[in-house]
C-alpha cells in the first residue's frame, strides 16, 4: 500500500506539473494580455464572487464520501444515488444565495450573466470532485489522476483554437474563455459520471432526507470554516468593485489578477503539501504519538521554500510582471511584491491549520477565521478607496499574516510545544540572509534572469548550511510514519 500510494502520488504530481504550468503561463496569461486588464478584471471579480459561497455545493460531502466509501465500498451504490440528489438540492441553494448576494452587491446585465456561467462552472467543479472522491475511494488512483487534469487539457485545446486557430475574425472575448471552461467541465463531468455509474451499478436516484440531514449535521463546522476562509481569501477583488467608482474596480481587479496568478499557482502546490500531512497528523494524534518532530520538519521544509521564492520574487517583481504582461506593469509589480508575502503566511497556515484540523479544533479555527474575515473586510474598506488594488493586497497580507501567527501560537498552546531557541535563531538568520542575498546579488551586474538564478542558488546553499533544508529527513520520517499502517493489515 505504501509503494502504491507513493507511486500514484508521483504520477499525480507529474501530470499536474506537465499540464498546469502551460495552462497558467500559456493560456491564462495570454487571455489576460489579449482581453486587457479591465475585461479580465470584470471576469476576475465575478469569478471570485462565484467562489465565495462554493462550500454550499459540497458542505463537506466529498470528504465524508471519500472516507466512508474507502472503508465501506459496498455502500457506493446506495450513497451515490442519494448524494447526487443532495448535490442538486445544494446547487439550488447556492444559486439562490449567490444571485441574491450578487444583485445586492450591484451585479447587473452582463455581470449577472457572467456570474451565472461561473456559478455553473463551480457546480461542475464540485460535482467532478465528488465523483473523483468515489473513484479514489475505490483505489483507482491513476484514473483519478487523469480526471484531475482532464478539464485543463480540454481547456487548453479549446482556448488554443480560439486564441491561435484563426477560426474567426473577431478579437478574443473574455466570454469565450468562460464558455471554454464550461464545455470542458461539462465533458469531464460526463466522463467521471459514466465511470462512477459503471462502478456503482447505478439504477435510480434516491430521496433520503434523514441521510441528507446526517451529512449536513456532521459537516456543518467544517463548512462554516471553509466559508469563512473563502471570504477572507477571495473577498478582496469583490470589494474593489463595490468601493471604486465606474470601471475603476474592473481595472484594479485586472491589475490584482496579474499579480495574483503566480501566488495562486504556488498556493496550489502548498495545498498538496497539506493534503499529504492531514492523514499523517490525524494518525499520530489518534495513536497518541508526539507530532512535534513532523511539525518541525514539515514547517521547515515548506517555510524555507516559501521564503526563498517570496523574497526573491518580490525583488524581481517588475521584471517578472514585464515578462508576463503587456500593460499596467508598474502597478502590477507593486501589488505582486506585497502579495508574495502572503505565500509565507499561507504556507504557515497550511502546516498549523492542518494540524489543528487533524486534532478536531474546528471551534478555535472557526473563531480565528471569523476574526480574519472581519479584519480583512475592515482593512479593505479603509485601504481600497485610497490605494486601489495595492490597498487590497496589503489587506490580504496583513490578514494572512495575523491568521498564520494566531494559528501557530494556538498550536503551540494546545500541543504544549517547547521553544527551541536554536531553531528560532536559525529561522531568523535565514530570513535575514535571504533579504541580504537578494539585495546585493544584483550588484554583480548580471542580466536579471541570471541574477535571479544566482540568488535562488545561494539561498538554497544558505538553507543547507544552516541545516534547514533537510528533505531527506522529511522523506525518511514520512516513510516511517506510513510503514506501520501498511504492515498492520498484512496477514
For residue range 356-396, list pLDDT tens digits in order.
888 888 889 999 999 999 999 999 999 999 999 999 999 99
Share of the chain above pLDDT 70, in %: 85
What confidence score (pLDDT) does residue 370 get? Answer: 92
For residue range 42-78, list pLDDT tens digits in order.
898 889 899 888 888 877 777 666 555 555 655 666 6
Three cell numbers written together for 217: 449535521
Query: Does the pTM exceed 0.75?
Result: yes
What confidence score (pLDDT) does residue 481 get? Answer: 45
Looking at every residue in the chain, the average pLDDT score rounds to 83
For residue range 170-217, list pLDDT tens digits in order.
889 999 999 999 999 999 999 988 888 877 666 667 777 787 788 788
Least confident interval from 104-108, 276-280, 403-407: 276-280
What confidence score (pLDDT) does residue 489 get? Answer: 36
What confidence score (pLDDT) does residue 271 get? Answer: 76
Contact 44, 276 (CB under 8 A): no
Going from the C-alpha of 76 to that of each of 5, 69, 264, 456, 476, the distances in angstroms are 22, 6, 34, 48, 35
Map 443-462 to HEC letters. HHCCCHHHHHHHHHHHHHHH
Contact 387, 331 (CB under 8 A): no
Contact 67, 132 (CB under 8 A): no
What confidence score (pLDDT) does residue 249 get? Answer: 86
The mean per-residue pLDDT over the stretch 334-355 comes to 93
Least confident interval from 108-122, 307-321, 402-416, 477-491: 477-491
How big is the CA angle at 368 (ends 363 and 371), to the nearest 5 degrees? 130
What confidence score (pLDDT) does residue 12 get? Answer: 63
What confidence score (pLDDT) does residue 137 get? Answer: 63
CA 62/CA 225 separation, integer angstroms: 15
Helix, strand, coil tally for the chain in percent (to 5) = 85, 0, 15
Rg (CA), the chain: 23
Amino acid at each position: 500500500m505504501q509503494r502504491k500510494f507513493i507511486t500514484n502520488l508521483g504520477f499525480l504530481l507529474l501530470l499536474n506539473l506537465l499540464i498546469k504550468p502551460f495552462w497558467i503561463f500559456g493560456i491564462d496569461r495570454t487571455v489576460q494580455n489579449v482581453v486587457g486588464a479591465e475585461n479580465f478584471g470584470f471576469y476576475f471579480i465575478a469569478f471570485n464572487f462565484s467562489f465565495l459561497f462554493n462550500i454550499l455545493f459540497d458542505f463537506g460531502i466529498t470528504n465524508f464520501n471519500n472516507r466512508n466509501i474507502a472503508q465501506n465500498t459496498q455502500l457506493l451504490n446506495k450513497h451515490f444515488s442519494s448524494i447526487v440528489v443532495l448535490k442538486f438540492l445544494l446547487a439550488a441553494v447556492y444559486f439562490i444565495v449567490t444571485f441574491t448576494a450578487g444583485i445586492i452587491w450591484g451585479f447587473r446585465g452582463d455581470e449577472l450573466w457572467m456570474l451565472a456561467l461561473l456559478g455553473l462552472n463551480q457546480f461542475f467543479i464540485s460535482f467532478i470532485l465528488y465523483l473523483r472522491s468515489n473513484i479514489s475511494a475505490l483505489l483507482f488512483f491513476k484514473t483519478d489522476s487523469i480526471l484531475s487534469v482532464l478539464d485543463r487539457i480540454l481547456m487548453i485545446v479549446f482556448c488554443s483554437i480560439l486564441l491561435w486557430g484563426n477560426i474567426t475574425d473577431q478579437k478574443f472575448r473574455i466570454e469565450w474563455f468562460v464558455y471554454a471552461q464550461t464545455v470542458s467541465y461539462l465533458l469531464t463531468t460526463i466522463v467521471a459520471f459514466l465511470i462512477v455509474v459503471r462502478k456503482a451499478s447505478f439504477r435510480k436516484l434516491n430521496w433520503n432526507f434523514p441521510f441528507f440531514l446526517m451529512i449536513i449535521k456532521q459537516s456543518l463546522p467544517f463548512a462554516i470554516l471553509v466559508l469563512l476562509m473563502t471570504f477572507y481569501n477571495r473577498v478582496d477583488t469583490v470589494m474593489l468593485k463595490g468601493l471604486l467608482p465606474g470601471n475603476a474596480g474592473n481595472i484594479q481587479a485586472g491589475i490584482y489578477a496579474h499579480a495574483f496568478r503566480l501566488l495562486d499557482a504556488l498556493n496550489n502546490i502548498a495545498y498538496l503539501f497539506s493534503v499529504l500531512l492531514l492523514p499523517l497528523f490525524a494518525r499520530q494524534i489518534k495513536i497518541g504519538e508526539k507530532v512535534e518532530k513532523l511539525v518541525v520538519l514539515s514547517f521547515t521544509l515548506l517555510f524555507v521554500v516559501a521564503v526563498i521564492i517570496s523574497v526573491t520574487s518580490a525583488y524581481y517583481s517588475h521584471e517578472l510582471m514585464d515578462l508576463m504582461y503587456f500593460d499596467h506593469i508598474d502597478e502590477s509589480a507593486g501589488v505582486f511584491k506585497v502579495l508574495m508575502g502572503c505565500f509565507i503566511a499561507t504556507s504557515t497556515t497550511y502546516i498549523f491549520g492542518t494540524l489543528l484540523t487533524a486534532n478536531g479544533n474546528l471551534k478555535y479555527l472557526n473563531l480565528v477565521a471569523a476574526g480574519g474575515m472581519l479584519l480583512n473586510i475592515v482593512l479593505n474598506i479603509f485601504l481600497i478607496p485610497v490605494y486601489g488594488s495595492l490597498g487590497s493586497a496589503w489587506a490580504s497580507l496583513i490578514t494572512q499574516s495575523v491568521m498564520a501567527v494566531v494559528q501557530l501560537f494556538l498550536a503551540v498552546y494546545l500541543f504544549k510545544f517547547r521553544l527551541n531557541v536554536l531553531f528560532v535563531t536559525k529561522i531568523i538568520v535565514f530570513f535575514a540572509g535571504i533579504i541580504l542575498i537578494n539585495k546585493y546579488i544584483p550588484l554583480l551586474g548580471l542580466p536579471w534572469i541570471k541574477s535571479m538564478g544566482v540568488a535562488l542558488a545561494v539561498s538554497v546553499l544558505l538553507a543547507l548550511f544552516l541545516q534547514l533544508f533537510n528533505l531527506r529527513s522529511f522523506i525518511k520520517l514520512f516513510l516511517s510514519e506510513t510503514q506501520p499502517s501498511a504492515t498492520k493489515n498484512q496477514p
